[in-house]
Chain A
Amino acid sequence: KAGVTQTPRYLIKTRGQQVTLSCSPISGHRSVSWYQQTPGQGLQFLFEYFSETQRNKGNFPGRFSGRQFSNSRSEMNVSTLELGDSALYLCASSRQQNEKLFFGSGTQLSVL
């Protein structure tokens, strides 16, 4: 069974640009969560989608958005990038909410 797939693996952008990250969950998993990981803050919850609906959102500005498609694949978008957005963005999937999460390898975003 394929694991959680995130693309791209690495991304370099400049301030003010926007970026879209993609996540394909494990087959049969309907919940997709996104996290931002930085050395100082650890894993910060961004949002969680279940059956194409955003069920939960963390404390991030509106520049961070996401969506989930009918096949459970998810994308997250960050607009007007700031230097502080440089981080590892991790996607995780689970069969249902509140179940164990399986993580992808992440997208390492660098904002210059």
Chain B
Amino acid sequence: QKEVEQNSGPLSVPEGAIASLNCTYSDRGSQSFFWYRQYSGKSPELIMSIYSNGDKEDGRFTAQLNKASQYVSLLIRDSQPSDSATYLCAVNIDTDKLIFGTGTRLQVFP
């Protein structure tokens, strides 16, 4: 079992819709969770971090964490074509290694 798993996609949503990106992880002791966005040919940039169960909102982005289910998700409201990118979930494993999923490619079409 991979330590951090994501559906590779592509996830295609129309402009203005909600995009839902999901991630599961294997280490029950994980405490830090991050979502990064990576445009083609660019390096990853941080979108959200979340440390406690529940929801955390930042603008159009909402991160959701459920430690019991070992599940973290990212919702993007009012999706725009400029949101088209690969979204990487990152989780700290063994308390101090930040491990990335392989990413979900999101396509937002006009």
Contacts and interface: CB of A to CB of B under 8 A. Distances in A.
Interface of A: 33, 35, 41-43, 45, 48, 55-56, 58, 90, 97-106
Interface string B30-44: 011010000000111
Interface residues of B, number: 22
Nearest to B103: A42
Contacts, number: 50
B34 A55 contact: no
Q: Which 4 A-B pairs have the closest CB atoms?
A: A42-B102, A43-B100, A103-B43, A56-B97
Contacts of B103: 42-43
Looking at B31, B34, B97, the one whose CB has the most chain A CB atoms below 10 A away is: B97
B95 A98 contact: yes
19 contacts: A42-B88, A42-B101, A43-B44, A43-B103, A45-B97, A45-B98, A45-B100, A48-B98, A56-B94, A56-B96, A90-B43, A97-B96, A101-B34, A101-B98, A103-B44, A103-B45, A105-B42, A105-B43, A106-B43
